[in-house]
Structure 1
Amino acid sequence: MSPLAMPNTAPNPLVARLCRYVRLSEAEQTVVDKAVAGPEIAVRQRRDLIREGDRPRGVPLIVEGWAFRYKTLEDGRRQIMSIHLPGDLCDIHGYILDEMDHSIGALTPVRYVELSPDRIDMMTGYSIPLTRALWWDALTKAATSREWIVNLGQRDALERLAHLFCELFFRLRAVGLVAGHSCDIPLTQTDLAETTGMTPVHVNRMVQELRGRGLIRWKGGEFEALDLEGLCDVAMFSPDYLHLDQAGRSPDHDG
């Protein structure tokens, strides 16, 4: 994994993410650190963290690498429904399920910590600001799912792919995984096809179109936004649904 794929901000990527939503005190950040402390589980590339039908034991927190949520049809066709980056909780409410209704797999080699229900309760019960930050995180994931539905239903193929690149770039930048205008996007054209509802051949054409317009460079998983504003224009992309600057508008700490 290249240096661009390693966090370069807070040691705890979840703290970095939550502080985007709410200004957390040092004590609240320490609570998060304690909640996510524990043995890290390593999963090889293209292996599952948990499969549809399994009983969840806790909530995976991605520490390093890329994971994805997906469903597979009986004939083998697969739809990728979300991508999880370092600092992402894979559904904070997921542990209440009797069995998983989808699978979570590793796009790259992944290290994650499995948060038990008790550790989730430790965070949500500690303070109002910390609970609010976790709510914001869950709401942002729901907003992202809505945006993906719009992507599949209304944007054309070029807009769809450009929008995904924009989203990943902004999300990676929020957790310190962008250097200048460059980052790692370790997806294959098949991954992009299963995310955007296109064929790999069509994805290849759209990638070539974005390259031809001088908007992106993407080779061997290394991505560069050569013209980020132009890429956002093509995608009709606004990062508002990611709520990246919410902490600047949130109320001060309660009492």
Structure 2
Amino acid sequence: MLSPLIQKLEGRFALSDSDRTALRSASCHGRRVAPRTDLVWEGDLPDHVQMIRSGFACRYKVLAAGTRSIVAYVIPGDICDLNVALLGAVDHSIGTIGACDVVSIPRQVLDDLTGNHPTLNRALRWASLVDEAIQREWIVNLGRHPAERKVAHLLCEFLCRLQAVGLAGRDNYELPLRQSDLGDATGMSSVHVNRTLQKLRGSGLVRLKGKYVSFPDVEALQAFAQFDPSYLHRSPGGVDDAPLRRR
């Protein structure tokens, strides 16, 4: 079974056997982390990067009033803050949402991976740039869209990202989030999130059953959410191992 990280990268890049072996070696020693546990605290000076092998985590900031604002979700196959060593102290915290399998990769190991495996270097740079693209899309979604569209857009994004690591079907996936987690990411109260989900369900766009969410008509949901997956930069052909071009 492919690891989520390898599966995600191979959706865009043709990794060699050597690349896969190096990634497996770097990410083979994980640990089980309980729900609602901090992995990194704001102000830390980390000498490892965290890779989520299973479960959901998030990047977040704590406001002066003590409330939490989620600024990104971290799903299986994601490496948290690949270039954090260049910045020094971390400017946000990272915590698990549910139970997670987490791999801590030492900076030296990561430097060896990128220095000795050119395709992996490009692939990991691509993954970091996609994280930045997601942040830009969040700014637009949260700043310009009404509540129903905000949540619908986020659900569409989860579908695409989870499909890329083999954790979603064509129109469904498991979403281990509380309504308060969705609220902390969208700037809404839990009550407002609940009402918004009920409206989406009442309109026939979303079906909810426990932790599982499905979509009777994915295209209709995407149209309603004004969701364009191009910001996730998945290659239509599935493989892109050409060198990055200078402009």
Tell me which interval the TM-score lies in, with the shorter structure as reference length.
over 0.9
**2:230 is the counterpart of 1:230:** no
Query: Do the aligned residues in 1 keep the contact of 2:4 with 2:166 (CA within 8 Å)?
Result: no
From 97, 105, 108, the counterpart of 2:95: 105
Give the match for residue 87 of structure 1.
Answer: 77
**2:4 is the counterpart of 1:22:** no
Q: How far is 1:127 from its partner?
A: 3.0
When normalised by structure 1's length, the TM-score is 0.90
Give the match for residue 5 of structure 1.
Answer: none
For 2:166, what is the secondary structure of its paired residue?
coil
For 1:76, what is the secondary structure of its paired residue?
coil
CA separation in 1, counterparts of 2:40 and 2:225?
A: 33
Query: Do the aligned residues in 1 keep the contact of 2:14 with 2:239 (CA within 8 Å)?
Result: no
Unmatched runs of 5 consecutive residues or more in structure 2: none
CA-based RMSD? 1.8
Give the match for residue 156 of structure 2.
Answer: 166
**2:138 is the counterpart of 1:152:** no
CA separation in 1, counterparts of 2:32 and 2:241?
A: 38
Q: How far is 1:37 from its partner?
A: 2.6
When normalised by structure 2's length, the TM-score is 0.93
From 203, 206, 230, the counterpart of 2:196: 206
**2:209 is the counterpart of 1:219:** yes
Query: Percentage identity across aligned positions?
Result: 41
Q: How far is 1:228 from its partner?
A: 0.8
Q: Which moved more, 1:18-27 or 1:137-146?
A: 18-27
For 1:112, what is the secondary structure of its paired residue?
strand
Give the match for residue 40 of structure 2.
Answer: 50
For 1:125, what is the secondary structure of its paired residue?
helix
Equivalent residues, number: 244
Give the match for residue 195 of structure 1.
Answer: 185
Query: Do the aligned residues in 2 keep the contact of 1:21 with 1:137 (CA within 8 Å)?
Result: no
Q: In 2 relative to 1, CA 94–233 (structure 1 residues): closer, same or farther, beyond 3 Å?
A: same
Give the match for residue 25 of structure 2.
Answer: 34
CA separation in 2, counterparts of 1:210 and 1:61?
A: 33
Q: Which moved more, 1:200-209 or 1:110-119?
A: 200-209
Q: How far is 1:253 from its partner?
A: 7.6
Q: How far is 1:227 from its partner?
A: 1.5
Q: How far is 1:162 from its partner?
A: 0.3
Query: Do the aligned residues in 1 keep the contact of 2:207 with 2:214 (CA within 8 Å)?
Result: yes
Query: Do the aligned residues in 1 keep the contact of 2:33 with 2:96 (CA within 8 Å)?
Result: yes
CA separation in 1, counterparts of 2:159 and 2:79?
A: 19
From 22, 35, 57, the counterpart of 1:67: 57
CA separation in 2, counterparts of 1:145 and 1:51?
A: 20
CA separation in 1, counterparts of 2:94 and 2:241?
A: 35
CA separation in 2, counterparts of 1:217 and 1:133?
A: 35
Q: How far is 1:217 from its partner?
A: 1.0
Q: How far is 1:248 from its partner?
A: 3.6
Q: How far is 1:30 from its partner?
A: 1.4
Unmatched runs of 5 consecutive residues or more in structure 1: 1-8
Query: Do the aligned residues in 2 keep the contact of 1:55 with 1:97 (CA within 8 Å)?
Result: no
Equivalent residue letter for 1:216? V
**2:123 is the counterpart of 1:141:** no
